[in-house]
């Protein structure tokens, strides 16, 4: 939505396409907040924000992109405020900011613990105000590529059925993450990596796909997120011995160390038998009822509804869950991909500002700042280039492929493949990675892809055919899993979210201070390349918290 608004304001003719109603996008679930060095809670600067982000990324983030994010963030947040975002306030009436993991200053602007919900409503209002054309409940399935340019998308019309081709001089993918690759995830059902997979299918490169972030506090048993804002407000993490175990892993930052560090600490406690039914405990009780009710009301509600626990009186059982994809469609700092006319922004893109580990609060900021930038660039390109013409063969090819799938009456239903994928990814490509497990997972995914070739869609109807779209989403997930494993096996070191405790426990800057790039070659195989990290002024150092 931020990209569409910017492109429209630049004078372009814009349409927005979404497989769900835009305000139901996963962004609306973001709780904790959005990072910008406003300096309202203590002294702060974009430079410090950038340093924290570089360090948080385990030095894999591109420093030019990080500098842009941190420099533009304050003005971008003020713009959201002017558009009507109701941020929480300091007593003097400024935008309030809370401490978040691995940040040198309280930098996370928030609206209680419903920040994403507030921002998404504000953006949708701005979309409405401009009377932008919105194709709601259109499922984008394929990119139209002709003449070495991206010229639109082919989408399934969920409400009425049928494939529709939407021609466009430029396309911006903003399709979000792929947490649904994992059995335990904070991500919504819609987060199936569609945009990444669509780009991959047409030969566009994906970057750092092995970097899947595990969030340390996801609620047992559902995987619903318990915001880092809890720890920002002072909550403790305890093991079965009532011990604040982070003293042994991150003695300075404790509960506010970065996410990869805490997830590994938790998993180690659980694996070594100091967990509580496969969890550790997040204790808010000492914060007191008043603070919990004022600052974290949504968290209390989630814990009560989904775990039957009132955090005013009891600690919340939590464990690491798949949360955020640092990797994604390889773009430059204007959101451009290697394919002319195709852009990507938000979680589906890899600019890369998060490198091997994202800091909480930086993802919402990325969607805004790089959404804006890609909207601007895409509009400029569209306004200065010739019209498009989608060849009819592209449409008929898509129709034929879809018909093949829908005509099949015998075979396996998608859900069993999907469950197996999610469960095995969790075990074999989770918080800790081991060579034999990753390779086994590669074989498992290859087997699942074969089975997917014979998948059957039971529902043959036109209206709201979820059976069909879930089958298509499964195809996307399988493509991505393959690329993640190829990249993961090749990265023979431990960096950020990619932790190999047995064979390569250390970071190896000499050999691996570089991005993995995967793309599909002519004969349908995943090819791996490497690209140097863009460094400006921060030399890699040992990362401790």
Catalytic (active-site) positions: 259
C-alpha 65, offset from chain centre: 17
- Where in 210-229 is the site for ligand FAD (CB under 6 A)? 225
Residue 503 Cβ vs ligand FAD, minimum distance, rounded to whole Å: 31
Residue 173 in tokens: 């993918």
Q: Is 231 exposed, middle or buried (0-12, 13-18, 19+ CB in 10 A)?
A: buried
Q: Is 308 exposed, middle or buried (0-12, 13-18, 19+ CB in 10 A)?
A: exposed
DSSP label of 464: T
Contact status, residue 301 vs residue 308, Cβ threshold 8 Å? no
The DSSP H or E segment spanning 489 is helix 466-490
- Where in 244-273 is the site for ligand FAD (CB under 6 A)? none
Residue 276 Cβ vs ligand FAD, minimum distance, rounded to whole Å: 23
Nearer to ligand FAD, 5 or 190 (CB): 190
Mention every residue, 6+ apart, whose C-beta is less than 8 A from residue 292: 284, 299, 300, 311, 312
Residue 442 Cβ vs ligand FAD, minimum distance, rounded to whole Å: 26
Residue 306 in tokens: 């989904």
Residue 197 Cβ vs ligand FAD, minimum distance, rounded to whole Å: 9
Among 56, 61, 99, 116, binds ligand FAD (CB under 6 A): 116
Nearer to ligand FAD, 349 or 438 (CB): 349
Give me the half-sphere count of Cα atoms (radius 13 Å) on the Cβ side of residue 71: 6
Cα 188 from Cα 259, distance rounded (Å): 20
Nearer to ligand FAD, 32 or 442 (CB): 32
Residue 22 Cβ vs ligand FAD, minimum distance, rounded to whole Å: 5
Residue 71 in tokens: 């420099």
Residue 426 Cβ vs ligand FAD, minimum distance, rounded to whole Å: 16
User: Segment near ligand FAD (CB under 6 A), from 13-21, 296-304, 394-402, 432-440?
Assistant: 13-21
- Taking every pair of Cα atoms in the chain, the longest distance, rounded to a whole number of angstroms, is 67
Residue of 268, 6, 231, 283 whose CA lies nearest to 99? 231
Cα 119 from Cα 1, distance rounded (Å): 11
- Where in 120-149 is the site for ligand FAD (CB under 6 A)? 138-140
Mention every residue, 6+ apart, whose C-beta is less than 8 A from residue 74: 36, 37, 38, 46
- Where in 339-368 is the site for ligand FAD (CB under 6 A)? 346-348, 360-364, 367
Residue 136 Cβ vs ligand FAD, minimum distance, rounded to whole Å: 9
Residue 453 Cβ vs ligand FAD, minimum distance, rounded to whole Å: 21
DSSP label of 334: T
455-458-464 Cα angle (round to 5) = 110
Among 17, 150, 168, 280, binds ligand FAD (CB under 6 A): 17
User: Segment near ligand FAD (CB under 6 A), from 19-27, 157-165, 309-317, 494-502?
Assistant: 19-27
Name the β-bridge partners of 89.
Answer: 95
Residue 72 in tokens: 């533009």
Per-residue interface string for the shown chain with ligand FAD, residues 181-200, x marking contact by CB under 6 A: -----xx--xx--x------
- Where in 152-181 is the site for ligand FAD (CB under 6 A)? 174-177
Block residue for tokens 């919340």 = 316
Rule CB under 6 A: is residue 115 a binding residue for ligand FAD? yes
- Where in 20-79 is the site for ligand FAD (CB under 6 A)? 20, 22, 25-27, 29-34
Cα 499 from Cα 357, distance rounded (Å): 11
- Where in 281-320 is the site for ligand FAD (CB under 6 A)? none
Residue 255 Cβ vs ligand FAD, minimum distance, rounded to whole Å: 16
Mention every residue, 6+ apart, whose C-beta is less than 8 A from residue 170: 150, 341, 342, 343, 378, 379, 381, 382
Mention every residue, 6+ apart, whose C-beta is less than 8 A from residue 309: 303, 315, 316, 317
Pairing mode of beta strands 15-18, 133-136: parallel
Residue count, binding to ligand FAD (CB under 6 A): 39
Cα 297 from Cα 306, distance rounded (Å): 14
- Where in 420-479 is the site for ligand FAD (CB under 6 A)? none
Residue of 121, 118, 128 whose CA lies nearest to 8? 128
Give the residues lining the site for ligand FAD (CB under 6 A): 17-20, 22, 25-27, 29-34, 115-116, 138-140, 174-177, 186-187, 190-191, 194, 225, 324, 346-348, 360-364, 367
């Amino acid at each position: 939505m931020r990209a569409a608004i910017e492109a429209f304001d630049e004078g372009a003719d814009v349409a927005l396409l979404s497989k769900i109603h835009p305000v139901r996008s996963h962004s609306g679930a973001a709780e904790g907040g959005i990072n910008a060095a406003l300096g309202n809670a203590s002294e702060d600067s974009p430079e410090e924000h950038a340093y924290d982000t570089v360090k948080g990324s385990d030095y894999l983030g591109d420093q030019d992109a990080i500098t842009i994010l941190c420099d533009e963030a304050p003005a971008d947040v003020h713009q959201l405020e002017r558009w009507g975002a109701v941020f929480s306030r300091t007593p003097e009436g400024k935008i309030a900011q809370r401490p978040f993991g691995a940040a040198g200053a309280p930098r996370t602007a928030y609206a209680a613990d419903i920040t994403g919900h507030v921002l998404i409503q504000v953006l949708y209002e701005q979309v409405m105000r401009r009377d932008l054309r919105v194709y709601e409940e259109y499922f984008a399935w394929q990119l139209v590529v002709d003449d070495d340019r991206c010229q639109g998308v082919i989408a399934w019309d969920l409400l009425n059925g049928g494939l529709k081709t939407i021609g466009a001089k430029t396309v911006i993918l903003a399709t979000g993450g792929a947490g649904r690759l994992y059995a335990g995830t904070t991500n919504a059902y819609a987060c199936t990596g569609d945009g990444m997979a669509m780009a991959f299918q047409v030969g566009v490169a994906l970057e750092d796909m092995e970097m899947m972030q595990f969030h340390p506090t996801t609620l047992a048993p559902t995987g619903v997120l318990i915001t880092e804002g809890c720890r920002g407000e002072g909550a403790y993490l305890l093991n079965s011995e009532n011990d604040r175990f982070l003293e042994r892993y991150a003695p300075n930052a404790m509960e506010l160390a970065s996410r990869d560090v805490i997830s590994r600490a938790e998993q180690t406690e659980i694996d070594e038998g100091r967990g509580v039914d496969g969890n550790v405990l997040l204790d808010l009780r000492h914060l007191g009822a008043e603070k919990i009710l004022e600052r974290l009301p949504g968290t209390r509600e989630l814990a009560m509804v989904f775990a039957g626990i009132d955090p005013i009186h009891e600690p919340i059982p939590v464990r690491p869950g798949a949360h955020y994809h640092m990797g994604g469609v390889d773009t430059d700092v204007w959101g451009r991909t290697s394919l002319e006319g195709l852009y990507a922004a938000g979680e589906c893109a890899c600019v890369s500002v998060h490198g091997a580990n994202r800091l909480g609060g930086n993802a919402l900021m990325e969607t805004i700042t790089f959404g804006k930038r890609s909207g601007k660039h895409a509009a400029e390109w569209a306004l200065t280039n010739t019209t498009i013409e989608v060849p009819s063969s592209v449409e008929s090819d898509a129709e034929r492929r879809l018909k093949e799938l829908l005509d099949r009456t015998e075979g396996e239903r998608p859900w069993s493949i999907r469950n197996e994928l999610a469960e095995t990814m969790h075990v074999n490509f989770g918080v800790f990675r081991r060579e034999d497990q990753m390779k086994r997972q590669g074989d498992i995914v290859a087997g699942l892809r074969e089975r997917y070739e014979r998948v059957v869609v039971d529902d043959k109807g036109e209206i709201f055919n979820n059976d069909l779209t879930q089958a298509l989403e499964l195809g996307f997930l399988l493509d991505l899993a393959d690329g993640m494993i190829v990249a993961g096996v090749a990265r023979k070191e431990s960096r950020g979210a990619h932790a190999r405790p047995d064979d390569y426990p250390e970071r190896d800057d000499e050999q691996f201070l570089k991005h993995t790039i995967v793309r599909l070659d002519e004969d349908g195989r995943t090819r791996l390349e490497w690209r140097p990290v863009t460094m400006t002024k921060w030399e890699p150092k040992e990362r401790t918290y």
